[in-house]
Amino acid sequence: MDFAHTPEDEAFRSELRTWLDVNLPKFLADWGGDEDPGGGRQGGIARSQDRRKDWQKRLDEGRWAAINWPLDWHGREATPVQNVIYSEEMARVRAPGIYNANGLWQIGPMIIHWGNEEQRNEWLPGILSAEEHWCQGFSEPQAGSDLANLRTTAVLDGDEYVVNGQKIWTSTAHLAKWGLFLLRTDPTAIERGAKHEGITAFIIDMDTPGIECRPIRDIVGEEMFNEVWFTDARIPVAHRLGEEGAGWKVAMGTLGHERVGTAGLAITMAADLRAMISAARAVNPDSLNDPEIRERIARAYTDIEFTKLLNYRALTKIIKGQKNWPEVPLAKLQWSHLAQTLAELAIDLLGPSGLLAKGGPGAIDGGSWTRLYSFQRYTSIGAGATEVQKNIIADRAIFPRT
């Protein structure tokens, strides 16, 4: 790959850098340097959401919230290289979380692509301005890795669909006003052996009677994701996204193929590695003389560099118009492996004080390393489980069927 950027890409980076240099310190000062208390901790969640909302609003004011959206929708129609630059710059400054990540990166582009004019006008402004929170309800108890096995039904009745069934692991559904859901409009498709057919995408108002969100307490004690139960919930036909039966195409066609999703990760992880080493220097310096720990640090550093190069290879393929395959599942594996490796390394580096949780006297960095140790377990399940990614690589890249 040619590592030099075009003048346009350099200008993009420089404009973003200048904007961040001015606006991020101001944002942090307004929030009293307060760290985001996390995705869904009880007590901290309201403040976390307010903080994310404010940051997204400010990004939007600078036209930096939805860089892939059309110019008419306050986007920048960013190229793949500019997406990488954006991720790198945001990682460099450790930018705060945003309120509608799902909405901006995935659901919004689906509405732009598959929605009609009325639907775009109804939903895009609220996603962009962070006025309304969005969730994404795909998984079900029997449909996770095997998503096409989903069975929550939507049956047409006049100008409405009647929805019954259960979703699970729906992140922040209990806080959302709207959700993008995949529902089964043709229940015979599974028996016919055509499970990818008969699925339809809907935008659902989470306040609709007959919808109940039941938060699930997760490994770190937060209530971030939910079971979502539907009992005769009535959804207007006008809220169907795309044609009936086209849901698989709607969901998969726009799911981030053009993005190099882990682009900023190497920068964030390298910063994490440096941060845990300097915390260890302060509280447990002996660990840094342990040959095994030193080897693990070197390995982690090398793996981070590999991840960066893997991303560049994926980007090169995209620029050349080739499929970024098999780099996408490889990057997913690399990400989950490194996330867990670093979280474990941090605890071993910090020694006994590394285990002190938030609120405990002497907790290091607010107990964030301890939280991360448990939280990062999710990375080998969410966004594609490890075993399934390995199956895909084996089936299609190592032993492709002819």
Ligand X SMILES: Cc1cc2nc3c(=O)[nH]c(=O)nc-3n(C[C@H](O)[C@H](O)[C@H](O)COP(=O)(O)OP(=O)(O)OC[C@H]3O[C@@H](n4cnc5c(N)ncnc54)[C@H](O)[C@@H]3O)c2cc1C
Interface residue list for ligand X (CB under 6 A): 135-139, 144-145, 169-171, 225, 378, 381-382, 385-388, 391
Closer residue to ligand X (CB): 139 or 287: 139
Selected catalytic residue, list 197, 212, 227, 258: 258
**What minimum distance in Å lies between the beta carbon of 182 and ligand X?**
8
Cβ-closest position to ligand X: 144
Alpha-carbon distance of 194 to 176, in angstroms, equals 32
- Contact in structure between 211 and 177 (CB atoms under 8 Å): no
Give the torsion sign (CA, 267, 338, 372, 367): negative
**What minimum distance in Å lies between the beta carbon of 225 and ligand X?**
5
Is 258 in the active site? yes
Within 10 angstroms of residue 314's Cβ, the number of other Cβ atoms is 26
CA distance to 109, 201, 308, 315, per residue, from 323 (Å):
20, 26, 18, 10
Q: Which two tokens stand for residue 72?
A: 């008419």
- Contact in structure between 253 and 241 (CB atoms under 8 Å): no
Can you list the positions of beta strands (E) in 122-222?
134-137, 153-157, 160-171, 178-184, 199-205, 211-217
Closer residue to ligand X (CB): 194 or 219: 219
Eight-class DSSP state of 140: B
Closer residue to ligand X (CB): 121 or 145: 145
**What minimum distance in Å lies between the beta carbon of 374 and ligand X?**
12
Q: Exposed, middle or buried by CB within 10 Å (0-12, 13-18, 19+), for 43?
A: exposed
Tell me how far the alpha carbon of residue 31 is from its chain's centroid: 24
- Contact in structure between 247 and 254 (CB atoms under 8 Å): no
Closer residue to ligand X (CB): 353 or 374: 374
Closer residue to ligand X (CB): 220 or 315: 220
**What minimum distance in Å lies between the beta carbon of 171 and ligand X?**
3
Q: Which two tokens stand for residue 394?
A: 């084996």
**What minimum distance in Å lies between the beta carbon of 158 and ligand X?**
28
Closer residue to ligand X (CB): 23 or 164: 164
**What minimum distance in Å lies between the beta carbon of 25 and ligand X?**
31
Alpha-carbon distance of 348 to 298, in angstroms, equals 15
Catalytic residues: 258
